[in-house]
């Protein structure tokens, strides 16, 4: 009999665990990710049950943003969100304007209906747009007809790095803030670019390569090399004519 009772208790405990897990899954919304400076609307995906007698939005579980009862104007609390939020009285969605990185965190939407409180969690992550990186040319060295390069990609924030030669990305194992590469006459590229990115934005910088082992920050060197290649026959021809005349 003790064994039967124990089995019933274990089954009840398992049922309660599954029920709690199911409730948590229903009241937790996917992460919302936005850029700083933008506007964002927070709302639950399925929409709350109707006829709620009390609505509250909170940042963390302690900081109230706004409360609303039917037929009464919303009450906005004196918080960091004051003058930057607005409650949609139809959908109960919360509009936040000019979001900042410090606004990242978990928001709670609570309603009271028939004396029962229900709560939803909405995680918000605010990212700054990435800054334009700068490629530092740390080393260029000729070795046995090859060119050894060491470039560093500098940006003062957390970001992912992606290096390109012309428009082709380097192998994954070389994707870090510093690029070391050996350039041979067979694998020369016209340019080397570093792209930095986060989930919502990206920027890049490019340096240009001229054989045998010269890098420059602008297309000036590349343009000059091309111009000399085109104009050299003309220049030589003019010099020959000049010699004949004199």
Q: Per residue in 83-109, pLDDT tens? A: 999 999 989 999 999 999 999 999 999
Q: Taking residues 216-220, what's their average pLDDT?
A: 68
Mean pLDDT over the full length of the chain: 83
CA distances from 148 to 21, 135, 184 (A): 57, 16, 9
Q: Where residue 70 falls among pLDDT bands split at 50, 70, 90? A: confident
Q: Where residue 152 falls among pLDDT bands split at 50, 70, 90? A: very high
Task: Check pLDDT > 50 for residue 128.
Answer: yes
Q: Taking residues 166-171, what's their average pLDDT?
A: 94
Task: Check pLDDT > 80 for residue 42.
Answer: yes
Q: Where residue 175 falls among pLDDT bands split at 50, 70, 90? A: very high
CA dist 140 and 143 (Å) reads 10
Q: Is 23 left (phi over 0), alpha (psi -120 to 50) or beta?
A: alpha
Task: Check pLDDT > 80 for residue 132.
Answer: yes
Q: Residue 180: CB partners within 8 Å, gap ≥ 6?
A: 148, 149, 150, 151, 174
Q: Which of 15-29, 57-71, 132-146 has the lowest mean pLDDT?
A: 15-29
Q: Residue 109: CB partners within 8 Å, gap ≥ 6?
A: 42, 43, 44, 48, 55, 56, 57, 92, 94, 119, 120, 122
Task: Check pLDDT > 50 for residue 198.
Answer: yes
Task: Check pLDDT > 50 for residue 113.
Answer: yes
Percent pLDDT > 70 in the chain is 76
Q: What is the pLDDT of residue 24?
A: 40
Q: What is the pLDDT of residue 131?
A: 96
Task: Check pLDDT > 50 for residue 21.
Answer: no
Q: What is the pLDDT of residue 202?
A: 97
Select from 165, 141, 139 the least CA-distant residue to 150.
139
Q: What is the pLDDT of residue 243?
A: 55
């Amino acid at each position: 009999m003790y064994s039967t009772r124990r089995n019933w208790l274990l089954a009840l405990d398992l049922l309660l665990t599954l029920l709690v897990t199911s409730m948590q899954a229903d009241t937790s919304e996917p992460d919302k990710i936005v850029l700083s400076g933008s506007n964002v609307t927070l709302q639950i995906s399925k929409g709350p049950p109707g006829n709620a007698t009390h609505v509250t939005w909170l940042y963390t579980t302690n900081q109230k943003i706004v409360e609303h009862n039917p037929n009464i104007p919303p009450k906005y609390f004196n918080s960091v969100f004051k003058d930057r939020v607005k409650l949609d009285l139809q959908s109960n969605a919360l509009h936040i304007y000019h979001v900042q990185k410090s606004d990242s965190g978990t928001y709670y939407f609570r309603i009271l209906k028939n004396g029962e409180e229900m709560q939803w969690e909405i995680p918000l992550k605010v990212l700054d747009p990435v800054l334009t990186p700068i490629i530092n040319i740390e080393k260029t060295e000729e070795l046995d007809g090859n060119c050894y390069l060491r470039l560093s990609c500098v940006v003062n924030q957390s970001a992912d790095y992606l290096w390109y030669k012309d428009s082709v990305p380097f192998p994954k194992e070389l994707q870090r803030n510093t690029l070391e590469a050996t350039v041979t006459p067979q694998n020369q590229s016209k340019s080397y670019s570093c792209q930095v990115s986060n989930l919502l934005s990206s920027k890049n910088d490019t340096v240009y390569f001229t054989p045998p082992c010269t890098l420059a920050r602008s297309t000036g060197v590349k343009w000059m090399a091309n111009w000399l290649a085109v104009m050299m026959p003309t220049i030589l021809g003019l010099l020959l004519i000049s010699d004949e005349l004199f």
